Structure 1
Amino acid sequence: MPLPRPLKPLAAIGALALLLTGQVLAEAPGLNGELRGTGDLGVVIERASGSVALVDTTRREVLRHIEGFGDLSHASVKFTRDARYAFVFGRDGGLTKLDLLTGEIAERILQGGNSIGGAISQDGRFVAVGNYEPGGVKVFDTETMELVIDVPATYQRPDGSTAQAKVVGVVDVPGNVFVFSLFEAGEIWTLDMSRDEPELTKHRDVGSMPYDALITPNGRYYIAGLFGEDGMALLDLWHPENGVQRILPDYGQNDYGQGEQRLPVYKMPHLEGWAMAGNRAFFPAVGRSEVLVADTRDWSLTNRIAVHGQPIFVMSRPDERQVWVTFAHPLNDKVQVIDTQTLEVIATLEPGDSILHKEFTPRGEHIWISARDSNQVVVYDTRTFEELARLPAESPSGIFFTHRAHQIGL
């Protein structure tokens, strides 16, 4: 049956569009010649070889090992707003932009002497890098990688002299604001990039040696751990005029109100991957084989959970039913799982040697764990604890999946 006349041109146009689309798809560049999105991609840091493994979290496979990232002994990763690019922060001060679709390095600069992390602004325009050396924060344009602003972490010592502090705990918060801590200075600074002239605000005397920090998922509370004393420093970003509040100042005391001696600390806990479940927050105790539980309504300490060793990463499954814990040397051969309702350890796993880092898939059905000295990444089912895969990697450490692009502070 012939088509009515008005539809003939439309059918012809549709056929031509399909033909042209097919040509575009055939010619479009892509990783391994395959057109794909980035939603199920991730990056595994291979610290020994200065490379990263680009992985597919749905297929549970390594797509490519990519070299040329420099010193990755303490590297972290942030993703651009569109999840097309990953920015890798290297210990040699390198800032490397990786194209996830082509699996190639798009650009790399040496912006400092020693950097351990950074953040990307809410609107995706800026990437901030926190530096140990020379100290301070540098902000770059995410597209051009041109320097936008250099903020030295200059502080005044008790004797009146000035020095540069190591910058830790760099996070992004709503409003195109970066927040970070100064280790030696005991200060927390905010950098507002929403203005034509960026505005810097300094909060002083927040506590001794803030070593890392986290931001609550809604972007309200910035919390810095204190290495030089028990307790944490909390800044309410909805009401910064109230200053910094000390919370959990007595977590180092036992049930009799007496202070307990810390164990030797071989690895500083990391707070970025902290755990929240309902009105509870779970975080590692410095120098103690405990996971501490706080009530987020008033930030009081409510429970202590005895665990295998000194916790490094305490991370919540996306549905908040479980908390997974990894540990510091020399007890870093196991992973423990805590039930957030009973506060009991319900599983102890042994993925391999030198376990530190882990990452949940976006909806939490799987967890990927790096076994550094086994040169493997191990994938588990988080419901059954069944091992699903072992993937090859050169001394894997940090694991980062692209869903972080759409979460505050990650």
Structure 2
Amino acid sequence: MKRRFRSKFAAALLVVAGLTVPAQAEPDAVKLFADHCASCHGADRLGGQGPALLPENLGRLMGPRAAAVIADGRTATQMPGFSATLDKDEIAALAAFIATPLPKMPAWGSLEIAASRVIHATAPALDRPRFAADPLNLFVVVETGDHHATILDGDRFEPLARFPTRFALHGGPKFTPDGRYVFFMSRDGWVSKYDLWSLTMLSEVRAGINSRNIAISRDGKHIAVANYLPHTLVMLSTADLSVEKIFEARDKKGNSSRVSAVYQAPPRDSFIAALKDVPEIWEIATDPNAPPVYPGLVHSHEKGMVEALQSSQGLFALRRIEIPEPLDDFFFDPPYRNLVGSAREGKAIVVNLTVGRDIKQLSLPGLPHLGSGISWTWNGRPVMATPHLKEGKISVLDMQDWSLIKAIDTPGPGFFMRSHENSPYAWTDAMMGPKKDTMSIIDKRSLEIVRTVTPAPNKTAAHVEFDKYGRYALVSIWENDGALVIYDAASFAEIKRIPMSRPSGKYNVWNKINFSDGTSH
């Protein structure tokens, strides 16, 4: 501080004397990054020991938030603080630098993916888990505060294991059909395979630079990875995380697109992919005996591996469904005959997957979060319900004609909604508004809110998940000094509270592998 004061005082004296003041050089952000960041985050900013430092990967961690992390570091991680090494202008220059997009999309194909693979351990030959808890009533809890995951016994609500994860897990872990293995995906493309029976991290591979989510095929043999960077949909083997196929995301006209999400469609034995920037939906067969589909064009990043599929059939056969405009954030009806996708704000489109075209447009203002929708039977009719990100309401739709049955007013805009086939209640949060600490409980028979609970006043309450039997509802206090709160799902009484670091999603093995009506798919 004294040195800076003296330099400013000297500059002022020069001005008084009528002399020119040399312009102060701006910090060289490229050199600062090379000197202080590249060893962990990669010279190309694509990541290494630390995560990728690109605007697509950082999300909300930019500007002042990024500067604070550079200055102070991150607790419970290997990120140190640089406030004693760099001055305020240098930290600001670094924060601005990592918020700048790369000049061109980097290549990340099968060679780069294969080179990234890390083997941590070999899965032991086991007939049963190494613990006494019910392996199908486990919860995988993602703690984003310090980048860990906890494996929780869903009967006793006691942790069985806690381990570090990659930075910024996203899109929800996915399970093999037998419930033994769980796969995580991070925002910067790392796919991790974990053995729930031996509580061991087995292997990891980086399938993209900026990834959105993953899905596992009905037979549990294949993983699909949806990427923003590069514009690809990557197929991996669940056995060893090797690359099976790479689809370059382009429409029939050759226009490139980000892949915003990929989903498993079990009754169809396929993956359904949402393309962010072009008006197409993709269906990719996961059945080796899939019948032929109409001609498509599949590309790979690898030189000399461009492949045209005429009347393609079998495993990974691609079917294109043209739609009026790009769709995002899908909800599927239970038979997977129809999907509803968000178009522009206030509009959703129903697409019939059997005939391969849109069949209805819906007016749903308030930006419905369709990916968090749930379904049940109401008065003998199949219905679905979805929260809205910008309005305090739940829209309940008749899935026979997609008409609006009711708009249920809630304390504020919400993000997650959950239920269970054995429970008459659905729980939803209001985390996107001022009543972020409030959970609303809706009677699925009367379509009325019958109770609200506040797990922690003035702290964000979010993401309900039920246990295997629908007896308990688990709610996250979504703060760094947060907790997992377990409620009796019938009486709404609090049963237990487990301290955790910003617990976000919690995923019950049974509900996920059985595609429970009350959980997202």
Same fold (TM over 0.5): yes
Shift of 1:187: 2.5
2:441 to 331, 337, 358: 337
Q: 1-side partners of 2:373 and 2:178: how far apart?
A: 22
Query: Partner of 2:338 in structure 1?
Result: 221
Deviations 1:199-257 (A, max 9, x none): 1112223435x33112222333222223x1323222333x234x122342x333xxxxx
- Which residue identity does 1:315 align to in structure 2? R
Query: Partner of 2:514 in structure 1?
Result: 406
The higher radius of gyration belongs to 2
Structure 1 residues 58-97: aligned runs within 5 Å = 58-67=155-164, 69-97=165-193
Q: Is 1:193 aligned with 2:294?
A: no
Q: 2-side partners of 1:169 and 1:287: how far apart?
A: 24
Q: Which secondary structure does the structure 2 equivalent of 1:312 belong to?
A: coil
Deviations 1:117-170 (A, max 9, x none): 2211111111111122223321111112111111122247xxx88333232252
Deviations 1:23-61 (A, max 9, x none): xxxx97987x63554112110001122210110110011
Q: Identify the structure with the greater strand proportion.
A: 1
Deviations 1:249-300 (A, max 9, x none): x333xxxxxxxxx5xx8xx835245233332211123422111111111111
Shift of 1:197: 4.8
Q: Is 1:274 aligned with 2:391?
A: no
Q: 2-side partners of 1:346 and 1:138: how far apart?
A: 45
Deviations 1:282-334 (A, max 9, x none): 11234221111111111111211111111211223323521211123343211
Query: Partner of 1:240 in structure 2?
Result: 355
Structure 1 residues 132-211: aligned runs within 5 Å = 132-155=228-251, 162-195=255-288, 196-208=314-326, 210-211=327-328
Query: Partner of 1:325 in structure 2?
Result: 428
Name the TM-score, length of structure 2 as normaliser: 0.65
Q: Which secondary structure does the structure 2 equivalent of 1:162 belong to?
A: coil
- Which residue identity does 1:302 align to in structure 2? I
Q: 2-side partners of 1:92 and 1:78: how far apart?
A: 17
Contact 1:155/1:165, CA 8 A, preserved across alignment: no
Shift of 1:93: 0.5
Contact 1:192/1:200, CA 8 A, preserved across alignment: yes
1:394 to 501, 507, 510: 501
Contact 2:180/2:196, CA 8 A, preserved across alignment: yes
Q: 1-side partners of 2:429 and 2:446: how far apart?
A: 19
Deviations 1:373-408 (A, max 9, x none): 142111111110000111122211011111111328
Shift of 1:182: 1.1
- Which residue identity does 1:91 align to in structure 2? R
Query: Partner of 1:362 in structure 2?
Result: 468
Contact 2:372/2:417, CA 8 A, preserved across alignment: no
Q: Is 1:384 aligned with 2:491?
A: yes
Q: 1-side partners of 2:389 and 2:498: how far apart?
A: 32
Q: Which secondary structure does the structure 1 equivalent of 2:415 belong to?
A: strand
- Which residue identity does 2:287 align to in structure 1? S
Count of aligned residue pairs for this structure pair: 361
Q: Which secondary structure does the structure 1 equivalent of 2:513 belong to?
A: helix
1:48 to 107, 129, 145: 145
Deviations 1:321-366 (A, max 9, x none): 2121112334321110111222211111112322221211122111
In structure 1, stretches of 5+ residues that fail to align are 1-26, 253-261
Contact 1:134/1:164, CA 8 A, preserved across alignment: no
- Which residue identity does 1:50 align to in structure 2? H
Distance 1:307 1:35, change over 3 A: closer
Q: Identify the structure with the greater helix proportion.
A: 2
Q: Which secondary structure does the structure 2 equivalent of 1:163 belong to?
A: coil
Distance 1:272 1:151, change over 3 A: farther
Higher relative contact order (CA 8 A, sep 6+): 1
- Which residue identity does 2:364 align to in structure 1? Y
- Which residue identity does 1:221 align to in structure 2? N
Q: 2-side partners of 1:86 and 1:28: how far apart?
A: 16
Q: Which secondary structure does the structure 2 equivalent of 1:271 belong to?
A: helix
In structure 2, stretches of 5+ residues that fail to align are 1-124, 289-313
